[in-house]
Protein backbone atom coordinates (compact mmCIF):
# COMPACT_ATOMS: atom_id res chain seq x y z
CA UNK A 1 0.00 0.00 0.00
CA UNK A 2 2.84 2.35 0.89
CA UNK A 3 4.54 1.57 -2.42
CA UNK A 4 1.37 2.28 -4.41
CA UNK A 5 0.76 5.52 -2.52
CA UNK A 6 4.36 6.60 -3.07
CA UNK A 7 4.13 5.86 -6.79
CA UNK A 8 0.85 7.78 -7.15
CA UNK A 9 2.35 10.76 -5.35
CA UNK A 10 5.40 10.54 -7.57
CA UNK A 11 3.26 10.63 -10.71
CA UNK A 12 1.27 13.59 -9.41
CA UNK A 13 4.48 15.44 -8.69
CA UNK A 14 5.73 14.66 -12.20
CA UNK A 15 2.55 16.09 -13.74
CA UNK A 16 2.91 19.27 -11.69
CA UNK A 17 6.56 19.62 -12.66
CA UNK A 18 5.73 19.16 -16.35
CA UNK A 19 3.00 21.79 -16.19
CA UNK A 20 5.13 24.31 -14.32
CA UNK A 21 8.06 23.65 -16.59
CA UNK A 22 6.22 24.72 -19.71
CA UNK A 23 5.32 28.08 -18.23
CA UNK A 24 8.72 28.85 -16.70
CA UNK A 25 11.51 27.01 -18.53
CA UNK A 26 12.65 25.76 -21.90
CA UNK A 27 12.55 22.05 -22.74
CA UNK A 28 16.32 22.09 -23.12
CA UNK A 29 16.73 22.68 -19.39
CA UNK A 30 15.09 19.30 -18.72
CA UNK A 31 17.08 17.42 -21.35
CA UNK A 32 20.69 18.61 -21.31
CA UNK A 33 23.42 17.38 -23.65
CA UNK A 34 24.28 14.81 -24.91
CA UNK A 35 20.61 14.14 -25.60
CA UNK A 36 19.53 11.03 -27.47
CA UNK A 37 22.07 8.22 -27.86
CA UNK A 38 22.21 8.05 -31.66
CA UNK A 39 24.29 4.88 -31.79
CA UNK A 40 21.85 3.00 -29.55
CA UNK A 41 18.87 4.21 -31.58
CA UNK A 42 20.41 3.09 -34.88
CA UNK A 43 21.40 -0.28 -33.42
CA UNK A 44 17.87 -0.86 -32.14
CA UNK A 45 16.45 0.12 -35.56
CA UNK A 46 18.67 -2.48 -37.23
CA UNK A 47 17.31 -5.10 -34.84
CA UNK A 48 13.73 -4.21 -35.77
CA UNK A 49 14.51 -4.37 -39.49
CA UNK A 50 16.12 -7.78 -39.04
CA UNK A 51 13.10 -9.36 -37.39
CA UNK A 52 11.52 -12.35 -39.09
CA UNK A 53 7.86 -11.74 -39.77
CA UNK A 54 5.14 -14.37 -39.19
CA UNK A 55 4.10 -16.71 -41.99
CA UNK A 56 0.96 -18.45 -43.26
CA UNK A 57 -2.20 -17.93 -41.19
CA UNK A 58 -0.34 -15.93 -38.56
CA UNK A 59 0.88 -13.52 -41.21
CA UNK A 60 -2.65 -13.16 -42.57
CA UNK A 61 -3.97 -12.39 -39.09
CA UNK A 62 -1.35 -9.71 -38.49
CA UNK A 63 -2.02 -8.19 -41.90
CA UNK A 64 -5.72 -7.89 -41.07
CA UNK A 65 -4.67 -6.19 -37.84
CA UNK A 66 -2.60 -3.76 -39.91
CA UNK A 67 -5.62 -3.03 -42.15
CA UNK A 68 -7.70 -2.01 -39.13
CA UNK A 69 -5.00 0.50 -38.15
CA UNK A 70 -4.72 2.24 -41.54
CA UNK A 71 -5.78 5.83 -42.08
CA UNK A 72 -6.64 5.40 -45.76
CA UNK A 73 -5.51 8.65 -47.29
CA UNK A 74 -5.83 10.80 -50.37
CA UNK A 75 -4.00 14.12 -50.32
CA UNK A 76 -3.68 14.90 -54.00
CA UNK A 77 -4.15 18.16 -55.82
CA UNK A 78 -6.71 16.57 -58.12
CA UNK A 79 -8.96 15.14 -55.38
CA UNK A 80 -12.62 15.30 -56.33
CA UNK A 81 -15.88 14.24 -54.64
CA UNK A 82 -15.92 11.10 -56.79
CA UNK A 83 -12.48 9.80 -55.83
CA UNK A 84 -13.15 10.63 -52.16
CA UNK A 85 -16.36 8.59 -52.49
CA UNK A 86 -14.38 5.63 -53.88
CA UNK A 87 -11.87 5.99 -51.06
CA UNK A 88 -14.66 5.83 -48.47
CA UNK A 89 -16.16 2.71 -50.03
CA UNK A 90 -12.73 1.10 -50.06
CA UNK A 91 -12.21 1.99 -46.39
CA UNK A 92 -15.52 0.34 -45.49
CA UNK A 93 -14.61 -2.86 -47.40
CA UNK A 94 -10.79 -2.79 -47.55
CA UNK A 95 -10.41 -6.51 -48.23
CA UNK A 96 -12.73 -8.23 -50.75
CA UNK A 97 -15.60 -10.06 -49.09
CA UNK A 98 -14.83 -13.40 -50.70
CA UNK A 99 -11.31 -13.40 -49.27
CA UNK A 100 -12.57 -12.55 -45.79
CA UNK A 101 -15.20 -15.27 -46.14
CA UNK A 102 -12.52 -17.87 -46.90
CA UNK A 103 -10.74 -16.77 -43.71
CA UNK A 104 -13.99 -16.83 -41.70
CA UNK A 105 -13.55 -13.09 -41.06
CA UNK A 106 -16.43 -11.79 -43.17
CA UNK A 107 -18.55 -10.94 -40.13
CA UNK A 108 -15.84 -9.33 -38.01
CA UNK A 109 -16.32 -5.78 -39.25
CA UNK A 110 -12.88 -5.40 -40.83
CA UNK A 111 -12.51 -1.78 -41.97
CA UNK A 112 -9.70 0.71 -42.00
CA UNK A 113 -9.42 2.97 -38.95
CA UNK A 114 -10.34 6.16 -40.81
CA UNK A 115 -10.23 8.01 -44.09
CA UNK A 116 -7.98 11.07 -44.27
CA UNK A 117 -8.57 13.97 -46.66
CA UNK A 118 -7.98 17.68 -47.09
CA UNK A 119 -10.35 20.03 -45.18
CA UNK A 120 -12.17 20.96 -48.40
CA UNK A 121 -13.07 17.30 -48.93
CA UNK A 122 -14.27 16.51 -45.40
CA UNK A 123 -17.92 17.18 -46.23
CA UNK A 124 -17.66 14.83 -49.24
CA UNK A 125 -16.26 12.04 -47.06
CA UNK A 126 -18.87 12.54 -44.35
CA UNK A 127 -21.64 12.46 -46.96
CA UNK A 128 -20.33 9.25 -48.56
CA UNK A 129 -19.94 7.44 -45.25
CA UNK A 130 -23.35 8.54 -44.03
CA UNK A 131 -24.95 7.29 -47.26
CA UNK A 132 -23.25 3.94 -46.69
CA UNK A 133 -24.50 3.87 -43.08
CA UNK A 134 -20.92 3.75 -41.81
CA UNK A 135 -19.57 5.27 -38.60
CA UNK A 136 -15.98 5.26 -39.89
CA UNK A 137 -13.92 8.21 -38.66
CA UNK A 138 -13.09 11.07 -41.00
CA UNK A 139 -9.67 12.62 -40.44
CA UNK A 140 -8.50 15.86 -41.96
CA UNK A 141 -5.06 17.42 -42.25
CA UNK A 142 -5.02 21.05 -41.19
CA UNK A 143 -2.96 23.98 -39.83
CA UNK A 144 -1.29 24.87 -43.10
CA UNK A 145 -0.46 21.30 -44.10
CA UNK A 146 2.24 20.36 -45.01
CA UNK A 147 4.53 23.30 -44.15
CA UNK A 148 2.64 24.86 -41.25
CA UNK A 149 3.87 28.31 -42.23
CA UNK A 150 0.58 30.19 -42.59
CA UNK A 151 -0.52 32.70 -39.91
CA UNK A 152 -1.69 31.17 -36.64
CA UNK A 153 -5.25 32.45 -36.90
CA UNK A 154 -5.54 30.98 -40.40
CA UNK A 155 -4.35 27.61 -39.12
CA UNK A 156 -6.79 27.71 -36.21
CA UNK A 157 -9.68 28.60 -38.49
CA UNK A 158 -8.80 25.70 -40.77
CA UNK A 159 -9.15 23.33 -37.81
CA UNK A 160 -12.50 24.83 -36.81
CA UNK A 161 -13.87 24.57 -40.35
CA UNK A 162 -12.81 20.92 -40.72
CA UNK A 163 -14.47 20.04 -37.39
CA UNK A 164 -17.61 21.96 -38.37
CA UNK A 165 -17.80 19.92 -41.59
CA UNK A 166 -17.74 16.68 -39.61
CA UNK A 167 -14.09 15.69 -39.15
CA UNK A 168 -13.68 13.65 -35.97
CA UNK A 169 -9.88 13.55 -36.18
CA UNK A 170 -7.51 16.39 -37.06
CA UNK A 171 -3.90 15.87 -38.15
CA UNK A 172 -2.12 19.13 -37.36
CA UNK A 173 1.42 20.09 -38.30
CA UNK A 174 3.82 21.93 -36.02
CA UNK A 175 5.72 25.02 -37.10
CA UNK A 176 9.15 23.42 -37.50
CA UNK A 177 10.86 26.81 -37.12
CA UNK A 178 9.86 26.87 -33.47
CA UNK A 179 11.45 23.47 -32.83
CA UNK A 180 14.60 24.22 -34.80
CA UNK A 181 15.17 27.48 -32.94
CA UNK A 182 14.37 26.04 -29.52
CA UNK A 183 11.17 28.03 -28.99
CA UNK A 184 9.52 25.22 -27.07
CA UNK A 185 7.15 27.38 -25.06
CA UNK A 186 5.84 28.96 -28.26
CA UNK A 187 5.40 25.53 -29.84
CA UNK A 188 3.53 24.33 -26.76
CA UNK A 189 1.21 27.33 -26.90
CA UNK A 190 0.41 26.83 -30.59
CA UNK A 191 -0.34 23.12 -30.16
CA UNK A 192 -2.43 23.89 -27.08
CA UNK A 193 -4.54 26.30 -29.14
CA UNK A 194 -4.95 23.68 -31.86
CA UNK A 195 -6.10 21.21 -29.20
CA UNK A 196 -8.71 23.73 -28.04
CA UNK A 197 -9.88 24.35 -31.61
CA UNK A 198 -10.31 20.58 -32.17
CA UNK A 199 -12.99 20.39 -29.48
CA UNK A 200 -14.10 16.75 -29.21
CA UNK A 201 -12.11 15.68 -32.29
CA UNK A 202 -8.96 13.65 -31.70
CA UNK A 203 -5.77 15.52 -32.52
CA UNK A 204 -2.74 13.94 -34.15
CA UNK A 205 0.35 16.16 -34.13
CA UNK A 206 2.67 15.78 -37.12
CA UNK A 207 6.30 16.50 -36.24
CA UNK A 208 7.70 16.31 -39.79
CA UNK A 209 10.73 14.51 -38.38
CA UNK A 210 12.68 14.77 -41.63
CA UNK A 211 12.92 18.51 -41.05
CA UNK A 212 13.77 18.56 -37.32
CA UNK A 213 17.48 17.97 -37.78
CA UNK A 214 18.35 15.79 -34.76
CA UNK A 215 16.96 12.93 -32.72
CA UNK A 216 17.10 15.21 -29.67
CA UNK A 217 14.78 17.69 -31.39
CA UNK A 218 12.43 14.83 -32.28
CA UNK A 219 12.34 13.69 -28.66
CA UNK A 220 11.74 17.18 -27.29
CA UNK A 221 9.08 17.98 -29.89
CA UNK A 222 7.34 14.69 -29.05
CA UNK A 223 7.18 15.59 -25.36
CA UNK A 224 5.96 19.13 -25.98
CA UNK A 225 3.23 17.88 -28.34
CA UNK A 226 2.04 15.37 -25.75
CA UNK A 227 2.13 17.93 -22.92
CA UNK A 228 0.01 20.27 -25.03
CA UNK A 229 -2.76 17.69 -25.34
CA UNK A 230 -2.06 15.60 -28.45
CA UNK A 231 -3.93 12.31 -28.68
CA UNK A 232 -1.33 11.02 -31.17
CA UNK A 233 2.09 12.04 -32.35
CA UNK A 234 2.78 11.39 -36.02
CA UNK A 235 6.08 11.18 -37.87
CA UNK A 236 5.52 12.96 -41.15
CA UNK A 237 3.25 14.65 -43.63
CA UNK A 238 4.43 12.33 -46.40
CA UNK A 239 5.61 15.39 -48.32
CA UNK A 240 9.12 15.64 -46.84
CA UNK A 241 12.20 14.06 -48.40
CA UNK A 242 12.55 11.83 -45.31
CA UNK A 243 9.37 10.43 -43.77
CA UNK A 244 8.68 7.52 -41.41
CA UNK A 245 11.88 5.66 -40.53
CA UNK A 246 12.53 3.16 -37.76
CA UNK A 247 15.18 5.27 -35.94
CA UNK A 248 12.93 8.32 -35.53
CA UNK A 249 10.03 6.04 -34.63
CA UNK A 250 12.07 4.52 -31.81
CA UNK A 251 12.83 8.00 -30.46
CA UNK A 252 9.15 8.96 -30.62
CA UNK A 253 7.74 5.79 -29.08
CA UNK A 254 10.23 5.98 -26.23
CA UNK A 255 9.10 9.54 -25.62
CA UNK A 256 5.55 8.13 -25.49
CA UNK A 257 6.68 5.47 -23.04
CA UNK A 258 8.50 8.01 -20.85
CA UNK A 259 5.43 10.23 -20.84
CA UNK A 260 3.18 7.31 -19.93
CA UNK A 261 5.45 6.19 -17.08
CA UNK A 262 5.45 9.71 -15.69
CA UNK A 263 1.78 10.61 -16.13
CA UNK A 264 -0.15 7.36 -16.65
CA UNK A 265 -1.61 8.82 -19.87
CA UNK A 266 -1.37 6.82 -23.10
CA UNK A 267 -0.66 8.76 -26.30
CA UNK A 268 -0.97 7.12 -29.71
CA UNK A 269 1.64 6.84 -32.46
CA UNK A 270 1.22 7.18 -36.22
CA UNK A 271 4.02 6.58 -38.73
CA UNK A 272 3.21 8.03 -42.15
CA UNK A 273 4.94 8.55 -45.47
CA UNK A 274 6.66 5.91 -47.59
CA UNK A 275 5.00 2.86 -46.01
CA UNK A 276 4.03 0.80 -49.04
CA UNK A 277 4.50 -2.93 -48.44
CA UNK A 278 2.81 -5.55 -46.31
CA UNK A 279 6.21 -6.57 -44.95
CA UNK A 280 6.80 -3.03 -43.70
CA UNK A 281 3.43 -2.97 -41.96
CA UNK A 282 4.39 -6.14 -40.06
CA UNK A 283 7.66 -4.56 -38.95
CA UNK A 284 5.80 -1.49 -37.69
CA UNK A 285 3.46 -3.70 -35.69
CA UNK A 286 6.49 -5.53 -34.28
CA UNK A 287 8.10 -2.26 -33.26
CA UNK A 288 4.97 -1.14 -31.42
CA UNK A 289 4.50 -4.51 -29.70
CA UNK A 290 8.09 -4.61 -28.46
CA UNK A 291 8.48 -0.94 -27.52
CA UNK A 292 5.05 -0.05 -26.14
CA UNK A 293 3.26 -3.35 -25.59
CA UNK A 294 0.01 -4.98 -26.67
CA UNK A 295 -2.17 -2.15 -25.36
CA UNK A 296 -0.96 0.02 -28.24
CA UNK A 297 -1.81 -2.58 -30.91
CA UNK A 298 -5.23 -1.12 -31.66
CA UNK A 299 -6.61 1.75 -33.76
CA UNK A 300 -7.16 3.83 -30.62
CA UNK A 301 -3.40 4.08 -30.08
CA UNK A 302 -1.73 3.07 -33.35
CA UNK A 303 -2.33 4.16 -36.92
CA UNK A 304 -0.54 3.69 -40.23
CA UNK A 305 -0.78 6.67 -42.56
CA UNK A 306 -0.83 5.27 -46.08
CA UNK A 307 -2.37 5.59 -49.52
CA UNK A 308 -0.84 2.61 -51.36
CA UNK A 309 -0.09 0.15 -48.53
CA UNK A 310 -3.52 -1.46 -48.64
CA UNK A 311 -3.05 -2.74 -52.19
CA UNK A 312 0.00 -4.82 -51.23
CA UNK A 313 -1.67 -6.17 -48.10
CA UNK A 314 -4.61 -7.29 -50.25
CA UNK A 315 -2.24 -9.10 -52.60
CA UNK A 316 -0.62 -10.95 -49.69
CA UNK A 317 -4.00 -11.97 -48.28
CA UNK A 318 -5.11 -13.06 -51.78
CA UNK A 319 -1.98 -15.24 -51.94
CA UNK A 320 -2.70 -16.72 -48.53
CA UNK A 321 -6.23 -17.69 -49.58
CA UNK A 322 -5.64 -18.80 -53.18
CA UNK A 323 -1.97 -19.79 -53.28
CA UNK A 324 -1.21 -17.34 -56.08
CA UNK A 325 -0.65 -13.62 -56.39
CA UNK A 326 -3.27 -11.37 -57.92
CA UNK A 327 -2.40 -8.71 -60.43
CA UNK A 328 -3.20 -5.24 -59.12
CA UNK A 329 -6.00 -4.85 -61.67
CA UNK A 330 -7.76 -7.92 -60.22
CA UNK A 331 -8.41 -6.21 -56.89
CA UNK A 332 -10.88 -3.36 -56.29
CA UNK A 333 -9.25 0.03 -56.42
CA UNK A 334 -9.99 3.10 -54.33
Does 270 qualify as catalytic in the annotation? yes
Judged by DSSP in three states, 171 sits in: strand
- Dist. CA 250–CA 253, nearest whole Å: 5
Set 71, 124, 165, 171: catalytic member = 171
The rounded distance, in Å, linking the Cα atoms of 322 and 305 is 28
Give the C-alpha distances (Å, rounded to integers) separating 243 from 64, 215, 224.
24, 14, 20
Contact 27, 220 (CB under 8 A): yes
Peptide bond into 49 cis (omega under 30): no
> Catalytic: 266?
no
Expressed in angstroms, the distance from the first to the final Cα of the chain is 55
Percent helix, strand and coil across the chain, each to the nearest 5: 55, 10, 35
CB of 63 closer than 8 Å to CB of 282: yes
Among 204, 231, 270, 312, the one annotated catalytic: 270
Of the residues 90, 204, 220, 234, only one is catalytic, namely: 234
From the list 139, 301, 162, 187, the residue with the least C-alpha distance to 233 is 301
Check if 127 is active-site: no
Residues noted as catalytic: 171, 234, 270
Amino acid sequence: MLTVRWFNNYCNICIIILSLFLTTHFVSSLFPAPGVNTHAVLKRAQTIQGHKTPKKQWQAAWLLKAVTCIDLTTLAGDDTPSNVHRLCLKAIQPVPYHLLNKMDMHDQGVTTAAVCVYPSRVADAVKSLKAANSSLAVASVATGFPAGQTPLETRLQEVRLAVADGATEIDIVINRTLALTGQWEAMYEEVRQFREACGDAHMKTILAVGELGTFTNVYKASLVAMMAGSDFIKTSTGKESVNATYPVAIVMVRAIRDYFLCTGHKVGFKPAGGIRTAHESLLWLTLIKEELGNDWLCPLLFRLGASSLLADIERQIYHHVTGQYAAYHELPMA
